[in-house]
Structure 1
Amino acid sequence: MDFNDIAHQYDDWFKTPLGSHVDSWEKEITWRLAKPRPGEKVLDIGTGTANYLLELARMGLDCTGLDVASRMILRAREKSKRDGVKLKLLLADCEALPFPEDYFDLVLSVTAFEFFTDPRRCVAEMVRVCRPRGRIVLGVLNKWSLWAVRRRVISWYKETIFSHCRFYSYPEMRRFLGPVEWGTSVFIPPGAPDRIIPLFDALEPYLRKVAKPFGAYLVTSVTV
């Protein structure tokens, strides 16, 4: 199974009560660390259906996204056309980014790093295309969370999109990037009933402080 197989249903998750809240929690902490500013050039690696890129475009950034899954790119183009949002979208691999050096102010990758076959090569390419004093922001699925445990156990019994990925912890991300700003979000248990979502809405800011290493979504940010 790969992302081409799930492109047609990828956005369905964000329409559910839990999915929409998870998306909101993840974006909140991502934007806090990424500090996107209007007019900046941003590259979204593993953009998927352009969930993050569309929002960045609405903030006034000059947006480029790439993915290795052609159906994901097709879906992203459909969404950008539907919403009247200008995006530059291309089929490409992070191991050989088709851009000159020092080109982007912000290089972003959200829940894609786990699927890279050569993550060190990809990080080197991100650094190459990022301008001096630009930011590289990586959002990954945190190894130290109940969500990662659940996904791994399920993948032992059936083929899922997570069967061939690698989850990461904060210490592992530091080894790729060096000293970083970081944070986590999404502390609600996987599969939680909708009725307890408001409780975790209230708890989320507190848990980001007292249970920082264990949120399901881990974000790291480094200035180049």
Structure 2
Amino acid sequence: MNIFEKKEVAQEYDSYYTTEQGEEVDALEKQAIQDLINPIIPGKLLEIGCGTGHWTSFFSQQGFQVTATDISEAMLQQIRAKSLPNVKLLTADVLQLPFPDDHFDQVAVITALEFCGDIPQAISEIKRVLKPEGWLIAGCLNADSTLGKIKNQDPVYKHADFMTQSILKKQLSKIGKPTITESVYLSPDLKLLDQRNSQPTIAGVFMAAVVQKEKQCTSQSK
């Protein structure tokens, strides 16, 4: 079941980012991604699992030409209402992307791999549509984090397949040599620790990653 097909989930999705902690978490996640994409020249970018357009807006503002996709019509209804500039919207499934090989300069997938149902197949499709030397930009939720350990208590996250950093690295290494950083450190009672604890001894909830598709990789390799 795709939990994001539910209209009530889609309608409430953005509400977290209006809370004080939600705004802080959003800033931390975006800074983590920003730090990694600074060397990347914005080009034709495919966003997978665009949801309500929270990250779509970010990538558009960074100068990327965004084709934003999601499998959930309920989520796409939310993003359509925002009328984001320089963004094309399309219903698409990451497990079977409707694009030719070597088509995009960049692919972005932010907290969407966890919900796709088949992460290896998703990585294979991303690799296929990404140009040689193109970049995958990813944000994933960490199974080793405080949130990861209690995710089954959450009505949305219980449907997700969180990855550890080592598993994420293994998946991304099918494309190239990934760089992965962590942020958003939460205490056992889910209070934000970033900038309050200079050397966290726990895993960050959010893993930001980039990986460049190796030039010798062909679209047929898996």
TM-score category, normalised to shorter length: 0.7 to 0.9
- What corresponds to 1:7 in structure 2? 10
Deviation, structure 1 residue 93: 0.2
1:184 aligns with 2:185: no
1:21 aligns with 2:24: yes
AA aligned to 2:171 is F
Deviation, structure 1 residue 38: 6.1
- What corresponds to 2:133 in structure 1? 133
- What corresponds to 1:95 in structure 2? 95
Structure 2: how far apart are the matches of 1:61 and 1:38?
9
Structure 2: how far apart are the matches of 1:203 and 1:126?
37
CA contact (8 A) 1:41 1:62 kept: yes
TM-score normalised by L of structure 2: 0.85
Identity %: 29
Deviation, structure 1 residue 220: 2.3
- What corresponds to 2:204 in structure 1? 215
CA contact (8 A) 1:143 1:149 kept: yes
Pick closer, same or farther for the CA change 1:33–1:39 going to 2, 3 Å.
Answer: closer
AA aligned to 1:216 is V
Deviation, structure 1 residue 11: 0.3
SS at the partner of 1:97?
Answer: coil
AA aligned to 1:202 is Q
CA contact (8 A) 1:143 1:169 kept: yes
Pick aligned residue for 1:61 from 64, 86, 92:
64
TM-score normalised by L of structure 1: 0.84
Number of aligned residue pairs: give it: 207
SS at the partner of 1:163?
Answer: helix
List aligned pairs for 1:29-48, cutoff 5 A: 29-35=32-38, 39-48=42-51
RMSD of aligned alpha carbons: 2.1
Structure 2: how far apart are the matches of 1:51 and 1:113?
16
Structure 2: how far apart are the matches of 1:76 and 1:20?
19
Structure 2: how far apart are the matches of 1:185 and 1:2?
25
AA aligned to 2:62 is M
Spell out, residue by residue over 1:55-107, the C-alpha distance to the aligned partner (whole angstroms, 9 max, x if none).
1112221011111110101101111x2xx523111111001111122221211
- What corresponds to 1:202 in structure 2? 195
CA contact (8 A) 1:34 1:106 kept: no
Deviation, structure 1 residue 34: 3.0
Deviation, structure 1 residue 189: 2.5
Structure 2: how far apart are the matches of 1:89 and 1:171?
33
Pick closer, same or farther for the CA change 1:203–1:72 going to 2, 3 Å.
Answer: same
Structure 1: how far apart are the matches of 2:88 and 2:195?
37
AA aligned to 1:147 is L
SS at the partner of 1:139?
Answer: strand
Structure 1: how far apart are the matches of 2:131 and 2:196?
37
Pick aligned residue for 2:77 from 69, 74, 81:
74
AA aligned to 2:106 is L
